[in-house]
Amino acid sequence: MAGRECYHCKQWVEEGEAHDCWTTTEAALTQDLSEDLREAWARLREAAADLGEQRIYASHNSIMFSRKSCYFFVRPKKSFLEVCVFLGRTVKAPQVRRIVRASKSKVAHVIQIRHRDEVEAPITDWLQEAYDHSIAPAPANVPKPAARKSKTARKTKTRTSKASKTKTSRRR
């Protein structure tokens, strides 16, 4: 028997047999969820799919939703769905657990969903906003005006020039 043992999962793989133990599916990530979380997941996926054309795929421990770039993803946990929505602004709301600057144009908002009824406005509004923002062109790089020297830098320069003048006048 020609074959090999996969060094990741330790499974025996016959020669020529397709094997990819890193492949993940939505079903595999959501199979152990409680009934409430499965319903919440179904409602969340349905709300996102209704937004328009996009790619929905599982990657590692998350289910990603993207157009040109990922606009939100879901990490199924034992007692909640961790939803990370990428917006172009910071939102302060009770549903948002954590806010993280993801890039110059994106702010990640982490939300925990425990029940189907939570998948409604404002969360669905944020998903729509993230969906729209994910295809919008990034703002053009506008050159910044020349930075002015700070007061401390100006004082330091003044002090050093006075000190050098004093040393020069003493030598004469």
Which domains are delineated in the chain?
8-135 (3.30.1460)
pLDDT band at 24 (very low <50, low <70, confident <90, very high): confident
Q: Would you state the pLDDT for residue 148?
A: 61
Per the confidence metrics, is the pTM higher than 0.85?
Answer: no
3-state secondary structure of 155: helix
Q: What is the pLDDT of residues 116-157, one digit of tens each?
A: 999 999 999 999 999 999 886 555 554 555 556 655 555 555
What's the rounded Cα separation, in Å, for the pair 31 and 9?
Answer: 20
What's the rounded Cα separation, in Å, for the pair 77 and 92?
Answer: 24
End-to-end CA distance of the chain: give it in Å, rounded: 97
**76 - beta bridge partners?**
81
pLDDT band at 4 (very low <50, low <70, confident <90, very high): confident
